Structure 1
């Protein structure tokens, strides 16, 4: 078990969220509503400590947001180039929790492609040049396109999960 999968219930972070906001926000606005108050780590070490205080559902939104931010801004190549693979197991655990088999399968395909081309990534990371990867590893293009088709559905699954057990995410006030 990696450190991102530990949950210390005694120190669970449960922010207060207005019940009307919880009921009236949807999809990305809802996601940010439940993510923003727990998105408080300043660096990777803080994040390891913070992660222990997040419930499994909170981790699902927290780590999915990393994936989404990277892939929607620069594709899976950017996700891997920027070192976000360290969160892959936490992301996959969250996707399993919310029942998103489609994105799990896509992540497995992307990770296989990354591992097949890992030395190319390492070479480009050393010289801090991402552009050659986009030209050399074009199969990521199809995976990026598929991601765009799936990511809204993933956000809906996160919302459905949070609405089914709000006590895991917040105190409604």
Structure 2
């Protein structure tokens, strides 16, 4: 990489990080505020708003989220499903505590019209339940157990399909369209 290209890349990355760290976080959302948020920032704004309702240690996360509107629950669960699977696969999603939202993510995918992704999520939940005993036995929090958990996990075969389907079904657009068409579910 040429020095100039590297500097431009670094500058772009610095701007992205700066923008993210200095974004507006709305403790209260109105129809007017939601309408003013550009599409590329909309999902993050909804997630930030939900997180203002959760304690800093996330100890009440499940209780808070499950008391929100169906739309907010859907966006929250889908957002974290995508984050976890894109970071470490379905193995990571089910390994981490966010997996308590697995059924919510499934329901959310169905709700926004992500037909193929919801079918895949249903398959992932089923596969996890069928293999939970074997999968959780190797979750011993050692390096070896962690490696075995990821390398021998039957969920791994679903990861590439997920990556393809989020593009094919255009998951981001489905979520944004759902929010824009169901504003009442997202206002405080």
Same-fold call, TM cutoff 0.5: yes
TM-score (norm. length: structure 2): 0.70
CA contact (8 A) 1:95 1:103 kept: yes
State the match for 1:94 in structure 2: 108
Distance 1:126 1:54 in 2: 34
Task: Give the number of equivalent residue pairs.
Answer: 154
Matching residue within 105, 117, 134 for 2:131: 117
Q: Please, which runs of 5 or more residues in structure 2 have no aligned partner?
A: 1-26
Distance 1:49 1:84 in 2: 13
Q: Please, which runs of 5 or more residues in structure 1 have no aligned partner?
A: 1-12
Deviation at 1:114, TM superposition (A): 1.8
Give the RMSD, CA atoms, in angstroms. 2.3
Q: Which runs of 4+ in 1 moved over 3 A?
A: 139-142
Deviation at 1:49, TM superposition (A): 3.6
Deviation at 1:44, TM superposition (A): 5.1
State the match for 2:43 in structure 1: 31
Distance 2:62 2:94 in 1: 19
* Structure exhibiting the larger radius of gyration computed from Cα positions: 2
TM-score (norm. length: structure 1): 0.76
2:140 aligned counterpart, secondary structure: helix
Distance 2:63 2:128 in 1: 28
CA distance change for structure 1 residues 100 and 14 in 2, over 3 Å: closer, same or farther?
farther
Matching residue within 82, 90, 96 for 1:76: 90
Which of 1 and 2 has higher RCO (CA within 8 Å, sep 6+)? 1
CA distance change for structure 1 residues 50 and 155 in 2, over 3 Å: closer, same or farther?
same
After superposition, where does 1:1-173 map in structure 2 within 5 Å?
Answer: 15-16=29-30, 17=33, 19-21=35-37, 24-26=38-40, 29-40=41-52, 41-42=54-55, 43=57, 45-128=59-142, 129-137=145-153, 139-152=154-167, 153-170=170-187
Deviation at 1:15, TM superposition (A): 1.8
